[in-house]
Amino acid sequence: MKKKWFAFLSFMLALSLLLVGCNSDRASKSGGNGTRLDIFSWWTGAGEEDGLKALIKLFKEKHPEVKVENAAVAGGAGTNAKAVLASRMQGNDPPATFQVHGGAELNDGWVAAGKMKPLNELYKEEGWNDKFPKELIDLVSKDGNIYSVPVNIHRGNVLWYNKRIFKDNGLKAPKTFAEFFKVADQLKAKGITPLALGDKEPWTATQLFEDVLLGTLAPDDYKKLWTKEVSFDDPKVKEAVKTFKKMLGYINKDHSSRNWQDASQLVGKGEAAMNIMGDWAKGYFVNDLKLKVNKDFGWVTTPGTQHSFMVITDTFGLPKGIKNEDDVMKFLSLLGSVEGQDTFNPLKGSIPARIDADPSKYDAYGRLTMKEFKKARITPSLAHGSAAPEGVVTKVNNAVNIFVTQQNEAQFIDALKTAASELK
Ligand code: GAL
DSSP 3-state of 268: helix
The pLDDT score that the predictor gives to residue 34 is: 65
DSSP 3-state of 146: strand
Which residue from 40, 42, 80 has its CB within 8 A of the most atoms of ligand 1, so it is best to mutate? 42
Which residue's alpha carbon is nearest to atom 5 within ligand 1? 77
Residues 6+ apart with CB under 8 A from 217: 225, 230, 234, 236, 237, 240
Which residue's alpha carbon is nearest to atom 11 within ligand 1? 77
> Which among 421, 413, 414 is positioned nearest to 209, based on CA atoms?
413
> Which among 258, 294, 262 is positioned nearest to 281, based on CA atoms?
262
Cα 274 to middle of ligand 1, angstroms: 19
What distance in Å separates the CA atoms of residue 261 and residue 161, rounded to the nearest whole number? 14
Q: Per-block average pLDDT, block size 10, for the chain (424 residues)?
A: 44 38 35 76 95 98 97 97 97 97 98 98 98 97 98 98 98 98 98 98 98 98 98 98 98 98 98 98 98 98 98 98 97 98 98 97 98 97 97 98 98 98 94
DSSP 3-state of 414: helix
DSSP 3-state of 196: strand
Which residue's alpha carbon is nearest to atom 8 within ligand 1? 314
CB atoms within 10 A of CB 421: 11
Q: Residue 153 forms beta bridges with which residues? A: 351
Ligand 1 residue neighbourhood (C-beta within 6 Å): 42-43, 48, 76-78, 154, 278, 280, 312, 314, 384
Which residue from 314, 347, 351, 386 has its CB within 8 A of the most atoms of ligand 1, so it is best to mutate? 314
Q: Do residues 299 and 158 touch, judged by C-beta distance below 8 A?
A: yes
Cα 313 to middle of ligand 1, angstroms: 9
Cα 48 to middle of ligand 1, angstroms: 8
Which residue's alpha carbon is nearest to atom 1 within ligand 1? 77
DSSP 3-state of 67: coil
Number of H helices, E strands in the chain: 17, 14
Which residue from 345, 384, 386, 393 has its CB within 8 A of the most atoms of ligand 1, so it is best to mutate? 384
The whole-model pTM stands at 0.92
The pLDDT score that the predictor gives to residue 424 is: 87
Cα 80 to middle of ligand 1, angstroms: 12
Q: Closest ligand 1 atom to the C-alpha of 312?
A: 8
Question: Assign residue 39 a region: left if phi > 0, alpha if psi is -120 to 50, beta otherwise?
Answer: beta
The pLDDT score that the predictor gives to residue 35 is: 86
For residue 63, CA distances in Å to 38, 122, 218, 274, 276 come to: 14, 18, 46, 43, 39
Cα 189 to middle of ligand 1, angstroms: 34
